[in-house]
Structure 1
Amino acid sequence: MSERIMPGRTDDLITLGAADALWVDLTADSAVPTASGAFTCSPARARVGYVLLGGHAVATVRASGGQWSVPEVEVRRAAAELNAVGMDRQDLVRIGPFRGAPRQECNEETRLRWRQRITGELHELGGPERAARREVGRPYHLAGIDWRQILVEQTRDGTQRTWWLPRAVVRLLDAAEHTETQWVQAARTRQASAAVTQPTSHPRQARASDGRQTTSPEGPTASLRPYNGELEGQLYSVLSRKPGTSRRMAGWACAVCRTAPAAVLDHCHEHGYVRAPVCQSCNTQERPDHLYSNDIRVAHRYTRLFHTDTDDWLRHWHRCPGCRARTTLPLPHLAAWTAHIACRSLRPTHRAPRGRKPCGVLRVSWAGSQNAPRSCLLTVAVDFCPSGEHRVLARVPYREAAERFRVWLAETAPAVAAAAGPDRLDGLPTQFRPVIADTSGEGLALF
């Protein structure tokens, strides 16, 4: 098969317009929809030395005539990486808006800021005014991905709107932010090194043999380091106030999925201990879907928490010393486990085209507090049940739910159960203290 000839190609470089056409052509069959103008439309930053394509950064080169170009092989590599990504349109992650969420600081090292861009776009007014703004360079894409095609808007109670994206796309955009941060940091390091070695006021610009001038830095070589419990036992209220915590966290990989860069410090809201740094996707998946402060909806994502990736999530939750010592979970998670696992056999089913389908939507509420187990009662119910809305399936005391969870934990994740409990001796020294003889008295006394 002969290689396709790209217009605007010079040696191994192609113009930005040709790169746009090549990107769309190579990713036509990708599960993740892509957008034209990935190199020429905002928020692409070709003139600062790079363009983001998925989780990949493509260097840009300025030729002697002032025209910007990119290596064709880099575009093909980024397209191949994107084509290998699978996307489940049913596995969604909420990206906003979050009531009471703190406003994100504008970090100049991360120019993509895709969550802020999407939120700003969706908060704008519709109609001709918005269409006119799009014509003058409003971002259709983020890292070459056409997020508008896969954005899902849901409305709760007819008033509150929420926005969702597939989890695979969220991880791609998080990876793009991390790649850009690493790129900028590497560029600043090289500039500082060049300033030390060449302290002249007007440094000479290096040019290639054919007259091309390369303005982009090389791609970042620093890789994510795994989290090995460096923050274990620390209180979130103390650690979050220490300067430099965000910078220290930026180099870690997510402690749950171990693939995406960490973005937030996950902590136990019940005991206050830091669990581990996690990515935005895992942090959103772990967040309970509260209807009220003591009432949550048990959605399909709990299948991943308690079935698919059970061992990873149980290890993560038990990074909290309080939950590990009590061999339990925070109250919202224990309530969700009770509804999803312990009361599964009580949930009615109805006929469906492909067999039988579980009835309605599970929800669980609680009265009382886990700090007073005798007064805490979990109520598991089904909403939108044809045989009666808000049908109550079971009322389970907190102590019974915790005991059933301990039995299930020992069967499902024996290693996690073995490390839990108040009688663990992990903190004691491995060797006994030496016996010292006291010769000051008549006999030998040991102390």
Structure 2
Amino acid sequence: MPEPVIPGRSGGLVPLGAADVLWVGLTTESAVPTASAAFTSSPANARVGYVLLGGRVVATVKTSGGQWSVPEIEVRRAAAELNAVEMDCQDLVRIGPFGGAPKKECNETTLLRWRQRITRELQELGHPERAARREGGQPSHLAGIDWRRLLVERTRDRTTRTWCLPRAVVRLLDVAEHTETQWLQAARTCQENTGVTEPPGHGWQARAADGRQTTSPDCSTAPLRPYNRELQGHLYSALSRKPGTSRRVAGWACAICRTAPAAVLDHCHEHGYVRAPVCHSCNTQERPDHLYSNDIRVASRYTRLFDTHTADWLCHWHRCPGCRARTTLPLPHLAAWTAHVACRSLRPTHRDVRGSRARKPCGVLRVSWTGSQSAPGSCLLTIAVDFCPSGEHRVLAQIAYREAATRFGTWLAEAAPAVAAAAGPDRLDGLPARFRPVIADTSGEGLALF
């Protein structure tokens, strides 16, 4: 196939308008939809030194004629990286709203802060004057991604709105936000070392030998460092109060996916120990689907946690010394495992309503427990089915905590022998042989899970 002709291309550089066309053409088959004005509409920062394309920073160049351009090869590399992203549109992550509107206005010279940008733009729809001003301008995008085509809005209780995006997109935007921050920090370091007085992000460039202006090629972003158990055995309550913890966490790669920048410290709420720094996406995937403080809906994503990526998630959960020593999981995770794995054979099936001979699992699994996670050994797990077409099969089983822990230990030795070998002996001593009724903890303290 002949190389397409790009108007205005010179010395490997393409003007911003031509780069827009090139970006769309290269990402036509991408699973993630892209914007048609990635270089020329907000929040592109082409005129302040760079443009974000997916998780890559593409530096801009101002030629001697005053025209802003970008290296064609960098656009192609960003497109290739985006085309390699796989996306499951059913695997959604809630992205907001999480409180009030952002206090600072977002404009072309601010950082990506994609969650705040989405919240601000969606909330503007309720303000006709601001919405009209936006309609008159160019379409908004995030790192070259057309997020509006992927946004899912849900309404709960007919009043509360929530917004969701596919997990792959959330992870990609988190990487973009981190990459931009690191790039600007590196640019400031170059500025200090070269004695340039104008700050990066506001038109700062170094002059190349051929007379055109470009960002310094030595200003490369620092790679994320892998997590190597530096926080093992630390209590979250003590570590979270130390100054500089958030900055330190941001320097690690997520300990689960190992690609996105870490954003939070995941920790065991039952024992209080830090597990590892993780990204928002993995922290959301790991979090149980609570309907109430002691009630979990067992969604389809538990297939990944307990079937397809079992060893990775079990290793992560057993970073907690308490869970590893007892060879078990925190109560919410053990409850989800019991419903999803141990009681799988008890779940009824129904013939597909579309007339095929295939049978599908009945309704939606739900597991609840009595008492509080502060005393898991006294809890009784109840596994039930919601939304059964025939209205049957409400309660499938009731299992005491000790029995659930015993079943998990047996399954762990078969499903992930390496994880089981690294754990301690099966310590069920101290657990009641039978379920002991307890008074439910309704104070709310200690029930804020994950």
Q: Which of the five TM-score ranges fits, normalised by the shorter chain? A: 0.7 to 0.9
Tell me whether 106-115 or 415-424 shows the greater mean CA deviation.
106-115
1: distance between equivalents of 2:237 and 2:179?
A: 29
Hey, what does 2:436 align to over in structure 1? Answer: none
Hey, what does 1:176 align to over in structure 2? Answer: 176
Q: Does residue 1:409 correspond to 2:412, yes or no?
A: yes
2: distance between equivalents of 1:170 and 1:10?
A: 36
8 Å CA contact retained: 1:373, 1:399:
no
Tell me whether 282-291 or 345-354 shows the greater mean CA deviation.
345-354
1: distance between equivalents of 2:375 and 2:171?
A: 40
Q: 1:209 to 1:259 in 2, by over 3 A?
A: closer
Opposite residue 5 of structure 1, the aligned amino acid is V
2: distance between equivalents of 1:93 and 1:390?
A: 30
Q: 1:370 to 1:40 in 2, by over 3 A?
A: closer
Hey, what does 2:368 align to over in structure 1? Answer: 365
CA shift for structure 1 position 135: 3.0
Structure 2 matches for 1:275-424, cutoff 5 A?
275-352=275-352, 353=354, 355-372=358-375, 375-388=378-391, 391-421=394-424
Hey, what does 2:111 align to over in structure 1? Answer: 111
8 Å CA contact retained: 2:226, 2:255:
yes
CA shift for structure 1 position 374: 5.7
Q: Does residue 1:225 correspond to 2:225, yes or no?
A: yes
1: distance between equivalents of 2:412 and 2:86?
A: 31
Q: Does residue 1:23 correspond to 2:27, yes or no?
A: no
Instruction: Name the SS for the 1:125 alignment partner.
Output: helix
Instruction: Name the SS for the 1:338 alignment partner.
Output: helix
Opposite residue 408 of structure 1, the aligned amino acid is W
CA shift for structure 1 position 110: 8.0
2: distance between equivalents of 1:251 and 1:275?
A: 16
CA shift for structure 1 position 290: 1.0
2: distance between equivalents of 1:238 and 1:106?
A: 34
8 Å CA contact retained: 1:54, 1:176:
yes
Opposite residue 307 of structure 2, the aligned amino acid is H
Hey, what does 2:190 align to over in structure 1? Answer: 190
**1:171-211, CA deviations, whole angstroms, 9 ceiling, x for partnerless residues?**
211111121122011111111212399xxxxxx98533432
8 Å CA contact retained: 1:48, 1:216:
no
8 Å CA contact retained: 2:101, 2:119:
no
Give structure 1 regions of 4+ aligned residues with deviation exceeding 6 angstroms: 101-110
Root mean square deviation of aligned Cα? 2.8
Instruction: Name the SS for the 2:195 alignment partner.
Output: helix
Gaps of 5+ in 1: 198-203, 425-447
- State the TM-score, normalized to the length of structure 2: 0.86
CA shift for structure 1 position 258: 1.4
- State the TM-score, normalized to the length of structure 1: 0.86
Hey, what does 1:33 align to over in structure 2? Answer: 33
8 Å CA contact retained: 1:276, 1:319:
yes
Instruction: Name the SS for the 1:271 alignment partner.
Output: coil
8 Å CA contact retained: 1:275, 1:316:
yes
**1:396-444, CA deviations, whole angstroms, 9 ceiling, x for partnerless residues?**
11111111111111111112112222689xxxxxxxxxxxxxxxxxxxx
1: distance between equivalents of 2:206 and 2:295?
A: 63
2: distance between equivalents of 1:268 and 1:103?
A: 30
Hey, what does 2:431 align to over in structure 1? Answer: none
Q: 1:284 to 1:105 in 2, by over 3 A?
A: farther
Count of residue correspondences: 417
Instruction: Name the SS for the 1:69 alignment partner.
Output: strand
**1:142-181, CA deviations, whole angstroms, 9 ceiling, x for partnerless residues?**
0000011011122334333322211211121111112112
CA shift for structure 1 position 239: 0.8
2: distance between equivalents of 1:289 and 1:133?
A: 39
**1:84-136, CA deviations, whole angstroms, 9 ceiling, x for partnerless residues?**
2221212222222347x999999999811111111222233348546413235
2: distance between equivalents of 1:2 and 1:335?
A: 59
Q: 1:402 to 1:138 in 2, by over 3 A?
A: farther
Greater Rg by CA: 1
8 Å CA contact retained: 1:43, 1:139:
no
2: distance between equivalents of 1:326 and 1:138?
A: 57
1: distance between equivalents of 2:101 and 2:256?
A: 24
2: distance between equivalents of 1:345 and 1:111?
A: 51
2: distance between equivalents of 1:191 and 1:219?
A: 9
CA shift for structure 1 position 222: 2.2
Q: 1:103 to 1:314 in 2, by over 3 A?
A: farther
8 Å CA contact retained: 2:288, 2:332:
yes
Opposite residue 377 of structure 1, the aligned amino acid is L
Opposite residue 403 of structure 2, the aligned amino acid is E
8 Å CA contact retained: 2:190, 2:216:
no
Hey, what does 1:55 align to over in structure 2? Answer: 55
Q: Does residue 1:143 correspond to 2:146, yes or no?
A: no
8 Å CA contact retained: 1:382, 1:393:
yes
1: distance between equivalents of 2:404 and 2:98?
A: 30
Q: 1:138 to 1:250 in 2, by over 3 A?
A: farther
Q: 1:252 to 1:211 in 2, by over 3 A?
A: same
CA shift for structure 1 position 373: 5.0
Hey, what does 2:200 align to over in structure 1? Answer: none
